[in-house]
Amino acid sequence: MYPVPYAVAHSAADRQSADFPRFGRDDETCERYGTDTVYDVFWLNVFGPKLVESVGRERMLSTPAYLVEELPNGSVLLVLRPTAADFASDEARVAQARAHVHLRPDLDFDTVLRMLRERSAALVPVEPRFHPDVAPFLSRLPDEFAISERQRKIAELNAFRPPVPEEWLPVGLPSDVENPERVRSYYGDLAESLVAALHTNVPSIFDATPESLTDLDFYFWRESFPERYERDLIDEHTAPAIGAFLGGMLVRRLGGTWVPRQKLEESQVRVGKRVWLPFLRARRYMQSRQALLDYSLTQFFRVVERHGA
């Protein structure tokens, strides 16, 4: 039988919190030395013969735990408690700390226990309470993070408050183009270019619904689009196409009216008593990954909808 050098069974989230199996080491060090000491103790542990001997077999076998069993190949099976279900309870953390400092006398019990309790605290479920204007977007983000980080991210997103949209005017500028219909057609072409470019990754873009705006928000954020692609490409093509698509949504879904301007960022959509600046919004939106949150398409549409009601 080939001896297992080291194996564990434990909560995936808590293993991530412990940085298992690197335990803070870089990849090269981890690959070179493997598990050369007891960096942590989990609910179920199998310590291979080499690790057992480095700790001391007698010390290993006298570890305070629910089950300590010497295996035929010289490995040692160590199970901290009868079940793994309550691994994050304070009782389980005390048992974990006791076993760890027994195997590593150089460690301080209080320090180890404090770190374990911090890991438990980080896993306590946090109820999502996102800002309503961006909740459809933010609700998709936590699953994109490591499971050990999700509750902290939910808490951060709960506290997030997007800036109130400023891309509007109380009194619109008059159109200053010679052929408004031709310019509106150009806006349509810009919007179609976005659909053509992204329909595979964002299929709902064909429907041009409020949900498709949230799908776009999520796609651009997940891809870190503003930071991965060339700035010239974004400024000259992507941002104008987004602005045209967003403005078209205000026209189709909210009964808005285009007011074309020679300067693209001055182009407006009148909805109710306000005129909105979708191209300006799109330019700000595409500045950074954080800007995708601060200037989301989801929020903009909801605010326009509310004011136009």
pTM of the model: 0.85
Q: Does the pLDDT of residue 1 top 70, yes or no?
A: no
Rounded to whole angstroms, the Cα distance separating 129 from 231 reads: 34
For residue 300, give the 3-state DSSP assignment. helix
For residue 18, give the 3-state DSSP assignment. coil
- The lowest-confidence range among 18-27, 223-232, 292-301 is 18-27
160-191 pLDDT, tens digit per residue, is 999 999 999 998 899 999 999 999 999 999 99
For CA atoms 246, 248, 254, 255, the dihedral sign is positive
206 phi-psi bin (left φ>0, alpha ψ -120 to 50, beta other): alpha
Q: What is the pLDDT of residue 191?
A: 97
Entry field: residues in the chain: 309
82 burial via Cβ count (<10 Å: 0-12, 13-18, 19+)? exposed
Rounded to whole angstroms, the Cα distance separating 247 from 258 reads: 8
184-220 pLDDT, tens digit per residue, is 999 999 999 999 999 999 999 999 999 999 999 999 9
Q: What is the mean pLDDT of the chain?
A: 95
* CA within 13 Å, CB half, 47: 28
For residue 276, give the 3-state DSSP assignment. strand
Please report, for the chain, the start and end positions of each structural domain, with discontinuous segments joined by +.
Answer: 6-122, 162-308
Q: What is the pLDDT of residue 151?
A: 96
Q: What is the pLDDT of residue 2?
A: 55
58-107 pLDDT, tens digit per residue, is 999 999 999 999 999 999 999 999 999 999 999 999 999 999 999 999 99
Rounded to whole angstroms, the Cα distance separating 215 from 194 reads: 13
